[in-house]
């Protein structure tokens, strides 16, 4: 028998969750939310709105807006986060924990990425708040890049590990930490090997592509995100981590919608839109690695365990069936270009 005919044709998984997602707000939220809710049971919703979600009250109101935007008959649970600032108080953390709605607090080093201007200028200013997070078991989610413009953009994640992450975890060894959207072998190795409660999310695009994708035949802004795609050796290290079976690695799409005109621009926004076809993109990446048997742990089990949430009881089915990713989709009063628009995918959500 040839390989084709022995290959798996359908794949049934516990319904997955997305542990790193941008839903935005208003008309954009209404456009993108159904894509996520079609595939995922829950998602950790990023707080980098303008202005950011910095209080439990704002998070609760945002959660209500998300649920109101959910089409009739769809089920989805938004897991809210707060945006850490220099001024976030320990008391706010206690409130967030007691609400039961807030599942993490996000560190954006000031200026590191989209809507991070209100982010933390120096983590030392947040130590009392971080101590409270450690005490109540509130995870710290991190955009793990230093912002020093003198540091090469391709090195900012590795330098973050040395300059920020390691000192922080030495000082607060019981703090639960999620290293978001890791992009380097340094991060993958650090998360796999270090002590304590640490997890990492990995995007589909960082599993599928290296940095050459941004420059293939011309500059291709839809492959530009932060942290930026890295060399092939890093992509391979991420695939190895994601398919290793280690419970420290879990799915986080970092689907980050920007209007087409803001991506195809002289100073284009960072972010890839993958909510439309996220699980199919991950299936493709795991299939190429010969590791489809490891997809369920990564997509549906490890994240819930890390966050101390129950495993989903429903399931989804993926079928091996080629389909073409649309060129663009309506989004509010604009359009959004999904990652790999026009290309075909070999897996389809049934
Ligand atoms: N990943 C990105 O390139 N962009 C994200 C922000 C982020 O996650 O850093 C966004 O909000 O657009
Ligand atoms: Zn980020
Ligand atoms: Zn993000």
Enter the tokens of residue 291.
């590791």
- For the chain, report the end-to-end CA distance as a whole number of angstroms: 27
Q: How far apart are CA 141 and CA 157, in angstroms?
A: 14
CA torsion sign, 63 to 69 to 72 to 75? Answer: negative
Q: State the closest ligand 1 atom to the C-alpha of 48, by its place in the atom list counted from 1.
A: 11
Closest approach atom of ligand 1 to CA 143: 9
The secondary structure of residue 51, as a DSSP letter, is S
Q: Which of 21, 45, 47, 48 to mutate to test the pocket of ligand 1 (most atoms within 8 A of CB)?
A: 48
Which residue owns the Cα nearest ligand 1 atom 6? 114
Pocket residue to mutate for ligand 1, from 183, 225, 278, most atoms within 8 A of Cβ: 225
Which atom number of ligand 1 is nearest to the Cα of residue 224? 3
Residue 117: the pLDDT is 83
Asked whether residue 20 is marked as a ligand-binding residue, the answer is yes
Residue 258 annotated as binding site: yes
Closest CA to 222 of 254, 262, 275: 262
Alpha-carbon distance of 225 to 256, in angstroms, equals 9
Q: In whole angstroms, give the CA distance from residue 64 to residue 301.
A: 26
For residue 272, the CA-to-ligand 3 centroid distance in Å is 9
Nearest to 81 by CA among 127, 148, 21, 160: 21
94: left (phi over 0), alpha (psi -120 to 50) or beta: alpha
Residues 229/211, Cβ–Cβ less than 8 Å: yes
- Determine contact, residues 200/267, Cβ cutoff 8 Å: no
Residue 350 C-alpha to ligand 2 middle, in angstroms? 30
What would the pLDDT profile of 209-229 be if each residue is shown by its tens digit? 999 999 999 999 999 999 999
pTM of the predicted structure, to 2 decimals: 0.97
3-class SS of residue 177:
strand
340 in a known ligand binding site:
no
226 annotated as ligand-binding = yes
E strand spans, 38-99: 42-45, 77-83
- 1 C-alpha vs ligand 2 centroid, how far in Å? 45
Distance, in Å, from the CA atom of 143 to the CA atom of 109, rounded to the nearest integer, reads 7
Catalytic amino acids? 254
Under-50 pLDDT residues of the chain: 1-2
CB of 17 closer than 8 Å to CB of 314: no
Tokens of 323: 């389909």
What CA–CA distances, in Å, run from 313 to 17, 39, 283, 301?
A: 12, 14, 20, 11
DSSP letter assigned to residue 341: T
List ligand 1's pocket residues with C-beta within 6 A.
Answer: 22, 48, 113-114, 143, 225-226, 254, 256, 270-271
Q: Whose CA is nearest to atom 8 of ligand 1?
A: 254
Q: What is the ipTM of this complex?
A: 0.98
Atom number in ligand 1 closest to CA 270? 3
For residue 51, the model assigns a pLDDT of 95
- Which residues have CB atoms below 5 A from the ion given as ligand 2? 113, 143
Ligand showing the shortest atom-to-Cα distance for residue 144: 2
pLDDT in tens, 25-64: 999 999 999 999 999 999 999 999 999 999 999 999 999 9
Q: CA dist 330 to 45, 300, 349, Å?
A: 21, 29, 21
Whether omega for the bond prior to residue 73 falls within 30 degrees of 0, making it cis, is no
């Amino acid at each position: 028998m040839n390989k084709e005919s022995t290959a798996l044709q359908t794949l049934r998984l516990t319904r997955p969750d997305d542990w790193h997602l941008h839903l935005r707000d208003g008309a954009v939220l209404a456009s993108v939310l159904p894509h996520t809710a079609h595939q995922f049971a829950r998602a950790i919703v990023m707080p980098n709105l303008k202005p950011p979600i910095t209080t439990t009250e704002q998070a609760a109101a945002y959660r209500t807006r998300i649920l109101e935007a959910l089409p009739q008959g769809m089920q989805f649970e938004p897991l809210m986060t707060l945006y850490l600032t220099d001024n976030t108080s320990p008391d706010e953390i206690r409130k967030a924990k007691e609400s039961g709605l807030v599942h993490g607090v996000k560190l954006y080093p000031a200026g590191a990425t989209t809507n991070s201007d209100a982010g933390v200028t120096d983590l030392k200013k947040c130590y009392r708040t971080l101590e409270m997070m450690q005490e109540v078991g509130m995870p710290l989610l991190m955009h793990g890049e230093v912002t020093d413009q003198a540091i090469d953009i391709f090195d900012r994640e590795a330098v973050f590990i040395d300059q920020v992450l390691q000192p922080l975890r030495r000082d607060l060894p019981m703090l639960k930490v999620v290293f978001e959207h890791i992009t380097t072998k340094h991060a993958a190795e650090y998360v796999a090997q270090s002590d304590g409660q640490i997890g990492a999310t990995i995007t589909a695009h960082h599993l599928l592509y290296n940095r050459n994708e941004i420059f293939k035949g011309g500059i291709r802004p839809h492959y530009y995100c932060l942290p930026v795609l890295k060399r092939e050796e890093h992509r391979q290290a991420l695939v190895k981590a994601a398919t290793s079976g280690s419970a420290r690695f879990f799915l986080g799409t970092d689907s980050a919608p920007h209007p087409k005109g803001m991506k195809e621009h002289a100073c284009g926004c960072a972010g890839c839109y993958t909510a439309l076809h996220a699980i199919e993109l991950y299936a493709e990446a795991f299939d190429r690695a010969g590791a489809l048997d490891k997809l369920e742990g990564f997509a549906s089990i490890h994240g819930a365990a890390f966050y101390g949430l129950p495993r989903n009881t429903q399931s989804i089915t993926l079928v091996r069936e080629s389909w073409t990713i649309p060129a663009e989709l309506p989004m509010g009063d604009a359009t959004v270009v999904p990652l790999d628009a026009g290309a075909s995918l070999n897996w389809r959500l049934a």
